[in-house]
Structure 1
Amino acid sequence: MVTWEDERLGVVGPFPVRSSRWHDVGPVAAELETLVGVPVLVLRLVSVEGGADGQGGHVTYHAAALRRPAVRLADSAAVLAEDALRADWATAAGLRSALGWAEAALRSAGRPVTGPVEQVKTWNLSGLYRVPTADGPAWLKTTPPFGACEAEVIGLFGSADATLVPAVLAADSAARRVLLDHVPGEDCWGVPEDSMLTAVERLVGAQAALAAQGAGRAAGTTLPDRTPKVLAGRLRELLAGEAVRGLSAAELAQVERLADQLPAIVDELAGCGLPETVLHGDFHPGNWRSDGHGTVIVDFSDSCLGHPAFDGLRPRAFLSEQRWARVREIWTAAWAERLPGSDPGRALELAEPLMHVGYAVRYQEFLDNIELSERIYHEGDPAAELREAIRSA
């Protein structure tokens, strides 16, 4: 469904695209541009028929043309509804504002834009755009108010290890916009080389340093508190809301029992001797980027204050058992070296149900703060995490 300025032009498609993931809209924009003959940007997902887990099926998007096309588009009676929770970058005006800010910021930084911006991803949690400059690409990322301020978190981790994070070229923290320098290499989905695993030990080093400094708790920081004691209370809140929708009566009873057990688990976890610190919040290999020599961590929008075992456990679901055993070994050895007398291995065991409670809380925050048509990305996720919490407990 294509609009230009305030005018509805019509519909194009259906047509196949290279990526089956709904938020990978770069191929959608590229194909649509070929079909209508003018530059376009995808604003948001409107509806999905079929598909599951964020991919496949027949997806309808709303796209904005940057110039009026010469071709006539097919009529459609479908409605483009307004939604008070719509992300700023999911509107034509909001996206123009973000791109204009990026162009001005890069010009001020001595890296003027040299070509058209390439749209890579858009959904309720972020928009990602590759911006060409004479000194190589920069990346514009837009995030919602309920996400962490990435520039702030990158600054915290960068103060402990500047090579662990991407370079920030400019930031508008109030509008949740950040311009990042390009990080060479590839995201580490399924990468076999052990070189990428340096991210694990280096994250531990940075988190230990930040904990020693009291970073993240200083006045002026905006990080949400998802420490173990706080999460124990948040589980009670989830039990009273829609997060438990879809759980059976038996599962709900198990979650109730887990809520009763959590205070004791929290106390035992504290006894393992690891400090609460700044977390990445989604520390899986897809957010590690490696060129075979060094590894940089990206995507800090889920960062928070919490127990480091939550980040330590996160890679497990994305790795083979053999690779997970290696990651676990690196993580526990790194903490044991920095804190002699601590028990990081036991901390991983105790923290697992709390970690899943934390993700249930986070997914419910997504659902509470995104527009109706985009809830399909996260429906059922809070209940799924609560099932994992009772399984691991």
Structure 2
Amino acid sequence: MSRTVTLVLLDATGRPLGALPPFDVPEPWWQQVDSVVAGARRHHGLDVAVLRLLDADRPAPPGGHVRYLAQVAEPPAVPLEPVAVDLAPHPRRPPWAHPGGPARSVAWATGELRRLGRTVTAVAQQRTWNLSAIWRLDTTHGAAWLKQLPAFARHEPTVLRWLALPGAPVLLAVGAQGRMLLEDVPGADRYGAPEAERAAVAAAHHQVQRRACAAVDELLAAGVPDLRGTTLARWIRGRLAGYDVSAAADLLAGLDDRLGRVRDCGLPDTLVHGDLHPGNVRGDDGRRVVIDWADAFVGHPAFDILRLTEDVGAAGARRLVGGWARRWRTDVPGSDPERAVDLLRPVAALRQAAVYAMFVAAIEPSEHPYHVHDVPAALARAVAAARP
């Protein structure tokens, strides 16, 4: 599957110029723009900064014909098609999606790297959507990554400062408007990792969570979201207000009681990654680093093992959960980790639905297709997981 891309261009002042002829890119995922930037250069000889999604010919990613707003330093020589585009400001538009936004962020990162004694030799835009904007910056001392976050995810650098250990991303600098600069993590994202690799990730993550148990108050005071117990129940119901939750009504009504039974299982609250799937683990030659802590919160440790085993067969998931449970029983004698997992399985899907609803509420309507269909899908998973 691929994408067909149309770029609607703005000049350096933000004035609309028209649309480039469409071209195809191999990656279907709308937020990935490295191939879009490369395609504009290859097909039209243009260096562009992609600002944001305008629209698409299908209701949700991936693939299809997608239009983006992009900015160029100089008007192109290629003929452009006149096009009407709404350039009105929107209160929920992130800083990097405004004209000049990418240039300002890259200038900040370049200055920070210079301060660290590293000269930038190349910049490549990688991703832009409502959850983040990401650039790779090659320097005289290796690569670094610029990541810019929306307001609801700006506790990620706080988490990284606290982690500050092997196996965590190295934070180089933090700036205004959600900007942060990260050291490169060699290797590849571990999508599709086999069971043995997931077991190693779970074992290493357990050590992080055990350490974090004693730092809960510190993490909360620093701004990491509090999703413990009844606070989580209120947060889920609040985020899902306005959605059709009739199929999950009984589950939502019994949420406080269910979370009370989870508390009785005896496991402590800790730092939760919030999206611990193998694609958020990067590494090579046996070294693994858990990346993308933007969804982190303080809550129950079972949420991470449930996410890590979502796309594993039933037998493999049982083994992974079993290893996780043995570690916690050793650390917390008398606890019942397996029961906690069983009770939280539908809650994990409810939390995901609420997270997607939070995304939709925080972004402008043109980007709703990224997430709006995820809310009912996660609600359906919650209902299915709650069945006896």
Does TM-score exceed 0.5, indicating one fold? yes
Q: What amino acid maps onto 1:149 in structure 2?
A: H
- SS of structure 2 residue aligned to 1:355: helix
Q: What amino acid maps onto 1:175 in structure 2?
A: Q
Alpha-carbon distance in structure 2 between the residues aligned to 1:176 and 1:326? 39
Unaligned runs of 5+ in 1: none
- SS of structure 1 residue aligned to 2:271: strand
* Partner residue in 1 for 2:167: 164
- SS of structure 1 residue aligned to 2:145: strand
Q: What amino acid maps onto 1:87 in structure 2?
A: P
1:146 maps onto 2:152 in alignment: yes
* Partner residue in 2 for 1:243: 243
Alpha-carbon distance in structure 2 between the residues aligned to 1:119 and 1:217? 32
Aligned 8 A contact 1:128 1:140 in 2: yes
**Structure with greater strand percent:** 2
Aligned 8 A contact 2:266 2:336 in 1: yes
CA positional deviation for 1:238: 4.6
CA positional deviation for 1:216: 4.5
Given candidates 113, 119, 124, the residue that maps to 2:125 is 119
| Matching of residues 203-282 of structure 1 within 5 Å | 203-219=205-221, 221-238=222-239, 241-244=241-244, 252=246, 254-282=247-275
| Matching of residues 33-52 of structure 1 within 5 Å | 33-50=41-58, 52=60
Given candidates 297, 301, 305, the residue that maps to 1:308 is 301
- SS of structure 2 residue aligned to 1:137: strand
Deviations 1:178-197 (A, max 9, x none): 11111111111113373454
- SS of structure 1 residue aligned to 2:107: helix
- SS of structure 1 residue aligned to 2:262: helix
Distance 1:357 1:315, change over 3 A: same
1:61 maps onto 2:54 in alignment: no
Distance 1:235 1:179, change over 3 A: closer
* Partner residue in 1 for 2:102: 95
Aligned 8 A contact 1:22 1:55 in 2: yes
- SS of structure 2 residue aligned to 1:46: strand
- SS of structure 2 residue aligned to 1:163: coil
Alpha-carbon distance in structure 1 between the residues aligned to 2:201 and 2:163? 12
* Partner residue in 2 for 1:83: 90
| Matching of residues 316-355 of structure 1 within 5 Å | 316-355=309-348
Given candidates 30, 33, 46, the residue that maps to 2:38 is 30
* Partner residue in 2 for 1:132: 138
Unaligned runs of 5+ in 2: 1-7
Aligned 8 A contact 1:195 1:294 in 2: no
CA positional deviation for 1:366: 0.6
Alpha-carbon distance in structure 1 between the residues aligned to 2:262 and 2:198? 29
Alpha-carbon distance in structure 1 between the residues aligned to 2:251 and 2:111? 52
Distance 1:282 1:316, change over 3 A: same
* Partner residue in 1 for 2:3: none
- SS of structure 2 residue aligned to 1:75: coil
Deviations 1:174-227 (A, max 9, x none): 4211111111111111133734542211111111111123354453x1112222
1:359 maps onto 2:345 in alignment: no
1:20 maps onto 2:12 in alignment: no
Deviations 1:210-252 (A, max 9, x none): 1123354453x1112222311222344356x3232xx5xxxx1
Q: What amino acid maps onto 2:149 in structure 1?
A: T
Distance 1:301 1:218, change over 3 A: closer
Deviations 1:30-84 (A, max 9, x none): 10122332311111110010263x2111101111113332333222234344322
> TM-score, length-normalised on structure 2?
0.92
Alpha-carbon distance in structure 2 between the residues aligned to 1:235 and 1:56? 31
- SS of structure 1 residue aligned to 2:174: strand
Q: What amino acid maps onto 1:55 in structure 2?
A: P
Aligned 8 A contact 1:198 1:295 in 2: no
Tell me the percent identity.
36
Alpha-carbon distance in structure 1 between the residues aligned to 2:239 and 2:95? 28
Deviations 1:269-324 (A, max 9, x none): 11111111111111111101121312100001111111111111012223343443
Distance 1:195 1:379, change over 3 A: closer
Aligned 8 A contact 1:231 1:354 in 2: no
Aligned 8 A contact 2:220 2:298 in 1: no
Aligned 8 A contact 1:37 1:70 in 2: no
Distance 1:260 1:78, change over 3 A: closer
Q: For structure 1, which segment, 224-233 or 19-28, has the greater mean C-alpha deviation from structure 2 after superposition?
A: 224-233
Given candidates 253, 273, 288, the residue that maps to 1:295 is 288
Over the residues paired in the alignment, what is the CA RMSD in angstroms?
1.9
Alpha-carbon distance in structure 1 between the residues aligned to 2:21 and 2:318? 47
Aligned 8 A contact 2:349 2:379 in 1: yes
Aligned 8 A contact 1:196 1:290 in 2: no
Distance 1:24 1:134, change over 3 A: same
Alpha-carbon distance in structure 2 between the residues aligned to 1:268 and 1:129? 44
CA positional deviation for 1:330: 2.8
Aligned 8 A contact 2:27 2:35 in 1: yes
- SS of structure 2 residue aligned to 1:318: coil
- SS of structure 1 residue aligned to 2:17: strand
> TM-score, length-normalised on structure 1?
0.91
